[in-house]
């Protein structure tokens, strides 16, 4: 569709900065022009118009760490000690999840994400052939990277799943779906398998991807304090310098790795992450809820490491709300470091947009509003008491906006939500399907 979005304040997150009474022109899936409304009106008189007068247009937010399927567990268990939470609640539940449950859970998360202005989600879960997260994202129209999570105990299964995932989905759905190889974590993937997954990734990239559209890695790293010890215990390895050094010694770290969490880091670790160009996905809400600790984000940024933001799963958050993640990010590091100048609003907004895109190696296409990029946009209404008065759009976006202020969302040039109505799926039906899936799942769980 050819569209001219006119009259809004465009927060480009690109070289044009903020354009007041600005406009964005979209042809098919691509932004072809960004400028002032009056110029754009003259240049493109016959384009279908979206009136964004008085509204704020931002690049769609990028959620760099999610397990989309897990919405079925939202609020299922909170406030437990970590081990009890996992062993008595999360894992038994997940063991009963079918491909269909994964698909339905991901549908629900995709809808929630879009309703909160998120247009790209990097998700790690189990890939199954019959039903999966990729199908759900494609159905709703959400851009995403769909991973298959790998464990030492199912190498054969993983190999087939990765091959299938890459072949069927990488670069598909008009380029909105990409895939990733997701070693779960150092303590669940043995060193040999970790290296093997590198070889598999190279192989898959050769067969199904290209340098501008790579198959990346997505993993958990340095989430909890005892990760090194757990890894030593799991695989009989020993190492002196912590988990990052160990991963580096395996030769698996690189610019294509999205490492979720990175809470427990030494200065040496940060240098290694920088040297290897590893991208960090920071999940402040999940890290607080699971009591993992507080990631040294200011130091990571000082070390020039790219830090993106993620919600983590709907059962460790319990929202897919990137505005909330941005507010937590901006505030948490000020507070614990006793420095109110840390993580200023604009920097945090970059982390959720252009730096998120960089983390996913997708920044030539998404993360900012610039001619030539894909049209992934969120339009917000600021004419509300809680966003009034207005001094700075960026301040409001970080400190005052709620997910519900997002009115319209465009992904890859397609209007997916308009005036808060999702256009691609019936939201009530998604909710009904999720509820039925949950009920059946609980029946299976309790009849074991």
18 binds a copy of itself (CB under 8 A): no
Residue from 335, 364, 423, 443 binding a copy of itself (CB under 8 A): 335
> Measuring CA to CA, how many Å separate 281 from each of 84, 129, 329, 374?
25, 28, 12, 22
396 binds a copy of itself (CB under 8 A): yes
Number of residues this chain uses to bind a copy of itself (CB under 8 A): 69
Q: Does 252 bind a copy of itself (CB under 8 A)?
A: no
CB of 52 to a copy of itself, least distance (A): 19
Beta bridge mates, 216: 180
Number of residues that this document lists for the chain: 448
User: Between residue 53 and residue 112, which ones bind a copy of itself under the rule CB under 8 A?
Assistant: 71-72, 74-76, 78-82, 85, 108, 111-112
- What is the dihedral sign for C-alpha 228, 229, 234, 237? positive
Q: Are strands 61-66 and 55-59 parallel, antiparallel or unpaired?
A: unpaired
Binding of residue 341 to a copy of itself (CB under 8 A): yes
The binding track of 211-240 with respect to a copy of itself, each residue x by CB under 8 A or -, is --------------x---------------
Closest separation between CB of residue 181 and a copy of itself, Å? 29
Q: Rounded CA gap, 282 and 263, in Å?
A: 8
Is-contact 137 147, C-beta < 8 A? no
C-alpha separations of 163 from 24, 104, 152, 255, 324 in Å: 39, 23, 17, 22, 36
Candidate ranges 61-69, 156-164, 287-295, 302-310; the one touching a copy of itself (CB under 8 A): 287-295
| Nearer to a copy of itself (CB atom), residue 45 or residue 389 | 389
Q: Is the peptide bond before 389 cis (omega within 30 degrees of 0)?
A: yes
Tokens coding 261: 């969490």
Q: Segment near a copy of itself (CB under 8 A), from 21-29, 125-133, 145-153, 378-386?
A: 378-386
Which one of residues 166, 345, 361, 410 is an interface residue with a copy of itself (CB under 8 A)?
A: 345
Q: Which is nearer to a copy of itself, 135 or 401 (CB)?
A: 401
**DSSP codes joined into one string, 148-162:** EEE-GGGHHHHHHHH
Site string for a copy of itself, 41-60 (x = CB under 8 A): --------------------
Query: In whole angstroms, how far apart are CA 344 and each of 95, 282, 323, 338?
Result: 42, 16, 14, 14
For residue 150, what are the contacts with CB-CB under 8 A and spacing of at least 6? 158, 162, 181, 182, 183, 184, 189, 193, 197
Cβ of residue 109: shortest distance to a copy of itself, in angstroms? Answer: 8
Q: Which of 342, 246, 337, 350 is nearest to 294 (CA)?
A: 337
In the 8-state DSSP scheme, what is residue 200? H
Identified binder of a copy of itself from the candidate list 190, 324, 363, 365, rule CB under 8 A: 324
CB-wise, 6 or 434, nearer to a copy of itself?
A: 434
Q: Look at residue 82 and give its three-state secondary structure.
A: helix
CB of 105 to a copy of itself, least distance (A): 10
Q: Which is nearer to a copy of itself, 340 or 372 (CB)?
A: 340
Q: Binding to a copy of itself by residue 293, rule CB under 8 A? A: yes
Stretch that binds a copy of itself, among 44-52, 144-152, 233-241, 401-409 (CB under 8 A): 401-409
DSSP at 38: H
Q: How far apart are CA 97 and CA 76, in angstroms?
A: 14
In the complex, the residues that contact a copy of itself under the rule CB under 8 A are 71-72, 74-76, 78-82, 85, 108, 111-112, 115-116, 225, 285, 287-294, 317-321, 324, 327-328, 330-332, 334-342, 344-345, 383, 385-386, 388-392, 395-396, 399-400, 402-404, 427, 430-431, 434-435, 438
């Amino acid at each position: 569709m050819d569209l001219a979005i006119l009259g809004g304040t465009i927060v480009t997150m690109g070289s044009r900065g903020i354009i007041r009474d600005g406009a964005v022109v979209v042809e098919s899936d691509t932004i072809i022009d960004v400028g002032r409304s009056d110029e754009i009106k003259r240049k493109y008189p016959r384009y279908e118009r979206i009136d964004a007068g008085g509204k704020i247009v931002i690049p769609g937010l990028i959620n760099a760490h999610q397990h989309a399927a897990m919405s079925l567990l939202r609020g299922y268990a909170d406030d437990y000690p970590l081990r009890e939470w996992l062993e008595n609640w999360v894992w038994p539940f997940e063991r009963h999840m079918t491909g269909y449950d994964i698909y339905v859970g991901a549908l629900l998360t995709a809808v929630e994400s879009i309703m909160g202005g998120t247009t790209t989600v990097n998700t790690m879960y189990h890939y199954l052939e019959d039903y999966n997260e990729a199908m759900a994202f494609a159905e709703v129209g959400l851009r995403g990277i769909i991973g298959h999570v790998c464990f030492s105990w199912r190498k054969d299964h993983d190999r087939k799943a990765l091959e299938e995932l890459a072949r069927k989905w990488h670069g598909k759905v008009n380029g909105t779906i990409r895939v990733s190889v997701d070693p779960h974590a150092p303590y669940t993937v043995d060193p040999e398998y970790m290296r093997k997954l590198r070889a598999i990734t190279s192989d898959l990239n050769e067969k199904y991807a290209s340098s501008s559209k790579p198959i990346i890695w997505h993993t958990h790293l340095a989430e909890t304090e005892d990760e090194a010890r757990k890894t030593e215990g799991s695989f009989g390895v020993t190492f002196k310098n912590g988990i990052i050094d160990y991963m580096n010694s395996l030769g698996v770290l690189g610019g294509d790795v999205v490492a979720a969490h990175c809470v427990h880091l030494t200065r040496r670790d940060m240098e290694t992450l920088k040297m290897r160009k590893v991208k960090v996905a920071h999940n402040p809400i999940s890290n607080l809820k699971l009591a993992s600790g507080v990631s040294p984000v200011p130091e990571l940024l000082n070390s020039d490491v790219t830090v993106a933001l993620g919600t983590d799963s709907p059962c460790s958050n319990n929202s897919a709300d990137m505005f909330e993640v941005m507010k937590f990010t901006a505030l948490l590091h000020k507070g614990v470091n006793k420095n109110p100048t840390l993580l200023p609003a604009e920097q945090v907004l970059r982390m959720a947009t252009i730096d998120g895109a960089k983390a996913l190696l997708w920044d030539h296409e998404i993360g900012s509003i610039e001619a030539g990029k894909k049209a992934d946009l969120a339009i917000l209404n600021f004419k509300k008491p809680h966003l009034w008065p207005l001094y700075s759009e960026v301040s409001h976006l970080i400190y005052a906006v709620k997910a519900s202020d997002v009115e319209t969302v465009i992904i890859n040039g397609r209007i997916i939500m308009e005036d808060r109505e999702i256009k691609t799926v019936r939201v009530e039906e998604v909710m009904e399907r999720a509820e039925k899936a949950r009920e059946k799942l609980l029946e299976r769980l309790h009849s074991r």
